[in-house]
Structures are given as structure tokens and as C-alpha cells.
């Protein structure tokens, strides 16, 4: 019955997964697509994971169980499951996730209907440690009918979570053309970009995948699992987000993409991925201490990190301070600080006073848009021939942004927001 049905290989890497492992295996065995093989690679677990795997192997011949003598790290273990696969299609399965019984069948059908697609994903939901649904996953991306540059633009816009695509269904012939999981930070994101360079992604518009979210899992837990080598772990932990940007840039360069796509990569990353850039900033706190940082500065900094071999210290020493730009700006437009009066005074005293960068007004946010005179100050008036440049120093910056945008102000051109949680002035 399975002779004309393509074999789907499922790679299930596991390390100390006894709490959820049996439930995950049952979810895979319950698929209504029968021609599957499940390749379990146990990364030298010290809990009852080996016994659980062996019991299932005895019950179902579609399960193959392999046990590593030593822990080889998560990246190498993921790769091992793929290298042992024999199917035309392949998917990775985490030992703590769940799948709808129709997941594989519907993904195979999509790939058969769309021969230009090399990867199929589905919509997803997030579940907690107890299996309770706590929300929907990020919207899955489909790139059918997009141009090559548009497809990559979609990747850049979603680079922060695109790694969730790693659990989709792949055409093996294309997955073989990638480097699989590298022993670096964000190996799933790098693999995702390599796949986007090769072809299109199609999606099943149903929530067929349940991704388990762990509240206590930290960034450093993720880093520690990537490699079993302590030296590599230490290297990965050093400026991991900044290094990932450099690695993604190298993938694009090796893919011989146009200069316009490379430009789009940095533009989107710096000016639209605020959280991503914020994490990169935090990795260089010691270098930025007591400095003023803005998006243009971070653009120059991250682009130089990615495209040269200069050290971050050397780059910071070479870059022009954003304070000089604000000094020039203050000669052309009034600068207003909008938000907490105390924070505004601190910002002026610590970062602006000595350059000098004059501030025309400190505007208390609680009354900013209720007083008509102040409203007139924030829009073009006879007294102010040019629109003020606003620095938002508020605990509710998004509300302030919306108010300004309603009055015609544009982000970066007319206002920037202070990141309140870092020991340097970062205007984002």
C-alpha cells in the first residue's frame, strides 16, 4: 500500500526528554500518513529516555533508535538524525512538541501540489509545560509567487522567529544542499536563510503543530545545548546576536545575492527589527557605556561588524558619535524631550549638556496632548517654522509614538524613543 506513497523520514533528537518523550512519539505514530520512519538519536541521556525509546521500538517497526556514547551537542545530534534518513521528505521533531494526526499528510499534499516549493510549514499554537494552549504561534510564511528579493525581504522581516520553520517538512534533495545545523548561535535561523536562497516555502493554513514553550528556559540554556564543547559554548556566548548577524551576512554573500538585497538586509535589521538590535546593543554595553547611540550609529556599527574583520572596540573608536549629528540637528530644529520630567533632566544632564545640544523644552507626558498651547507647540505654528524633533523618554513610548504619528510625525525623521533599560542613551 505504501509503494506509491513517498517515504517521510522523521528525525527526533532527544536529550533527557523523559517528561514529554512518550507523548511526542505517540503523536507521530498517530499520523494518518502511514509511510514514515522515525529516527531517534539519543544524545547520551542520563534519565529514562533510552528505556522509553526502546519500548516504542519494540512495538513499532517504523522506529529506529540510536544512542550516542557521549553527548555530541544538539546541532550534531539534529544532523545525525538527517544523515540516517532514507525518505524523499524529511522533518525534525522535538521531543516535547505535538502534531495533529493530519500534519504529515497535508504537508506532503502541499509539496506535491506546489513542485516549486522546497519546504512546507503549517500554522501553529503554543502550549505550556502542562500542554495547555497559551496562544497562537507567529504566522507562518508562504513565499509562493514572490520574487527572489521579495522572498528574502520576508525572511529579514521575520528573522527573530523564522527558526520555527525548522520543524516544517523538507524536500530532502534541497536540505542536502545546506550545511544543516552549525555549532553557532541561531543554527535554525541560518539554515532557514539557506533554504530561502534555494526555493519557496508553502504553508498549510491550519494550526497543525503545537510548540511547547518553557517559561524558565533562558538564552544561555539555548547556547549551552548547541555544542558539547565548553570552548565552543564560551565562543557562542560572546556577542551571540551580533555574531549571528555576521553569519547571516556571510550566507548572503556566499549566495551571490545582489547589492540591493544586502542593503535591504541591513535596512530591515536595524530600522525595523528593534528588539533584535536592542539585544545586539546589550552585548556591547561596556563599549557603549555613557555614549549616545541612535539607529544610524547602530547601522554603521553592525554593518562594519558583519562586513569586516575589525574588532567591536576598533569600530566604536572609528565611528562618529551621534552627538555630533544631534548638535547639527539642534541648529536647524528645536529639540523637545517628551515624557518623564525627571528622566528628561537626567538625559539632558548626562548626555546632551556637554556637547552642547540645547533642549528647547521638557514636556511632561501626562499633560502633553491635553493642553492646547502644548499641542500647538508640537505641530507647525507661526512661532515654530519647522517641526520640533522629539525625544520620547516615557514608560509608555508606544502611546506617545501613536499620538505623534497622528499629528504627522515620522519615526527617525521627527522622533526617536529612549530605551530606558540600558546604561547608555540608546535612541531607537
What pLDDT, on a 0 to 100 scale, did the predictor assign at position 139?
Answer: 84
- Total-model pTM: 0.88
**337 and 195 share a domain?**
no
What is the grid cell recorded at 386? 519647522
Helix runs in 172-311, H state only: 172-175, 187-198, 219-226, 230-237, 240-254, 259-271, 274-282, 285-288, 295-307
DSSP 162: G
Task: Give the CATH number, domain containing residue 68.
Answer: 3.90.550.10
Domain-ending residue, one of 195, 221, 247: 221
Q: Who has greater pLDDT, 92 or 358?
A: 92
Domain-ending residue, one of 287, 303, 320: 320
- Report, as an integer, the average pLDDT of 62-76: 96
Domain assignment of residue 406, yes or no: yes
What pLDDT, on a 0 to 100 scale, did the predictor assign at position 280?
Answer: 84
DSSP codes, 338-388: EE-HHHHHHHIIIIITTTT---SEEEEGGGTTT-HHHHHHHS--SS-SSPP
Domain assignment of residue 232, yes or no: no
Domain assignment of residue 180, yes or no: yes
**125 and 204 share a domain?**
yes
Residue ranges of E strands in 101-218? 117-127, 133-136, 169-171, 200-212
Q: Which residues contact 127 (CB under 8 A, 6 or more apart)?
A: 98, 133, 134, 210, 211, 212, 213
DSSP 140: P
Domain assignment of residue 99, yes or no: yes
Domain assignment of residue 72, yes or no: yes
**137 and 53 share a domain?**
yes
**245 and 208 share a domain?**
no
- Report, as an integer, the average pLDDT of 172-191: 95
Domain assignment of residue 387, yes or no: yes
- Report, as an integer, the average pLDDT of 61-84: 96
Domain count, the chain: 3
**97 and 193 share a domain?**
yes
Distances (CA, A) of 400 to 187, 292, 393, 395: 37, 21, 9, 10
Residues 89, 174 contacting (CB under 8 angstroms) = no
What pLDDT, on a 0 to 100 scale, did the predictor assign at position 144?
Answer: 96
What is the grid cell recorded at 186? 541561531
Supply the mean pLDDT for the chain. Answer: 89
What pLDDT, on a 0 to 100 scale, did the predictor assign at position 369?
Answer: 65
- Report, as an integer, the average pLDDT of 11-25: 96
Q: Who has greater pLDDT, 367 or 187?
A: 187
What pLDDT, on a 0 to 100 scale, did the predictor assign at position 163?
Answer: 56
pLDDT tens by residue, 341-391: 888 888 888 888 888 888 887 888 777 666 655 555 565 445 557 788 999
**140 and 20 share a domain?**
yes
**304 and 335 share a domain?**
no
pLDDT tens by residue, 225-266: 888 888 888 888 888 889 999 999 999 999 999 999 999 999
**314 and 327 share a domain?**
no
Of 52-56, 97-101, 250-254, 417-421, which gets the smallest average pLDDT?
417-421
Q: How many Å apart are CA 76 and CA 183, to the nearest integer?
A: 8
**413 and 332 share a domain?**
yes
- Determine the structural domain holding residue 43 and report its residue range: 8-221
DSSP 146: -
**177 and 68 share a domain?**
yes
Domain assignment of residue 226, yes or no: no
Tell whether the model's pLDDT for residue 221 goes beyond 60. yes
Domain assignment of residue 290, yes or no: yes
Domain-ending residue, one of 221, 249, 284: 221
Nearest to 151 by CA among 36, 244, 239, 257: 257
What pLDDT, on a 0 to 100 scale, did the predictor assign at position 30?
Answer: 97
What is the grid cell recorded at 237? 556566548
**Residue 1 half-sphere exposure, CB side, CA atoms within 13 Å?**
4
**354 and 259 share a domain?**
no
Residues 43, 72 contacting (CB under 8 angstroms) = yes
Tell whether the model's pLDDT for residue 42 goes beyond 50. yes
- Report, as an integer, the average pLDDT of 321-335: 89
pLDDT tens by residue, 389-415: 999 988 788 888 888 888 889 988 999
What is the grid cell recorded at 426? 540608546
**307 and 332 share a domain?**
no
- Report, as an integer, the average pLDDT of 147-155: 96
What pLDDT, on a 0 to 100 scale, did the predictor assign at position 250?
Answer: 97
Q: How many Å apart are CA 9 and CA 284, to the nearest integer?
A: 42
Amino acid at each position: 500500500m505504501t509503494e506509491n506513497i513517498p517515504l517521510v523520514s522523521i528525525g527526533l533528537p532527544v536529550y533527557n526528554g523523559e517528561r514529554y518523550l512518550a507523548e511526542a512519539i505517540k503523536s507521530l505514530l498517530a499520523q494518518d500518513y502511514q509511510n514514515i520512519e522515525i529516527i531517534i538519536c539519543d544524545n547520551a541521556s542520563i534519565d529514562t529516555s533510552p528505556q522509553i525509546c526502546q519500548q516504542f521500538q519494540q512495538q513499532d517497526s517504523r522506529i529506529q533508535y540510536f544512542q550516542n556514547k557521549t553527548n555530541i551537542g544538539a546541532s550534531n545530534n539534529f544532523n545525525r538524525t538527517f544523515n540516517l534518513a532514507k525518505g524523499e521528505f524529511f522533518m525534525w521533531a522535538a521531543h516535547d512538541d505535538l502534531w495533529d494526526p493530519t500534519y504529515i499528510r497535508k504537508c506532503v499534499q502541499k509539496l506535491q501540489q506546489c513542485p516549486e516549493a522546497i519546504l512546507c510549514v503549517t500554522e501553529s499554537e503554543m502550549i505550556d509545560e502542562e500542554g495547555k494552549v497559551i496562544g497562537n504561534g507567529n504566522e507562518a510564511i508562504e513565499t509562493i509567487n514572490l520574487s527572489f528579493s521579495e522572498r528574502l525581504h520576508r525572511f529579514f522581516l521575520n528573522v527573530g522567529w523564522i527558526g520555527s520553520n525548522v520543524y516544517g517538512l523538507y524536500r530532502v534533495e534541497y536540505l542536502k544542499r545546506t550545511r544543516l545545523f552549525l555549532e553557532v548561535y541561531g543554527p535554525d535561523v541560518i539554515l532557514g536563510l539557506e533554504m530561502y536562497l534555494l526555493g519557496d516555502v508553502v504553508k498549510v493554513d491550519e494550526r497543525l503543530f503545537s510548540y511547547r514553550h518553557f517559561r524558565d528556559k533562558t538564552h544561555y540554556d539555548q547556547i549551552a545545548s548547541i555544542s558539547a564543547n565548553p570552548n565552543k559554548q564560551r565562543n557562542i556566548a560572546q556577542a551571540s546576536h551580533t555574531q549571528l548577524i555576521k553569519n547571516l551576512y556571510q550566507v548572503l554573500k556566499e549566495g551571490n545575492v545582489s547589492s540591493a538585497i544586502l542593503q535591504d538586509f541591513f535596512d530591515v535589521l536595524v530600522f525595523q527589527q528593534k528588539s533584535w538590535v536592542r539585544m545586539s546593543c546589550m552585548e556591547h554595553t561596556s563599549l557603549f557605556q555613557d555614549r549616545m547611540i541612535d539607529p544610524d550609529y547602530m547601522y554603521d556599527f553592525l554593518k562594519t561588524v558583519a562586513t569586516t574583520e575589525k574588532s567591536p572596540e576598533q569600530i566604536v573608536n572609528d565611528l562618529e558619535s551621534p552627538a555630533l549629528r544631534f548638535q547639527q540637528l539642534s541648529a536647524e530644529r528645536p529639540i523637545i524631550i517628551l515624557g518623564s520630567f525627571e528622566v528628561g533632566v537626567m538625559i539632558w544632564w548626562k548626555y546632551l549638556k556637554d556637547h552642547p545640544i540645547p533642549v528647547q523644552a521638557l514636556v511632561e507626558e501626562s499633560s502633553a496632548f491635553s493642553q492646547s498651547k502644548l499641542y500647538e507647540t508640537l505641530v507647525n505654528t507661526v512661532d515654530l517654522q519647522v517641526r520640533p524633533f522629539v525625544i520620547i523618554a516615557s514608560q509608555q513610548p508606544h502611546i506617545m509614538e501613536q499620538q505623534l504619528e497622528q499629528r504627522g510625525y515620522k519615526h527617525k525623521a521627527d522622533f526617536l524613543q529612549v530605551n530606558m533599560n540600558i546604561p547608555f542613551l540608546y535612541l531607537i
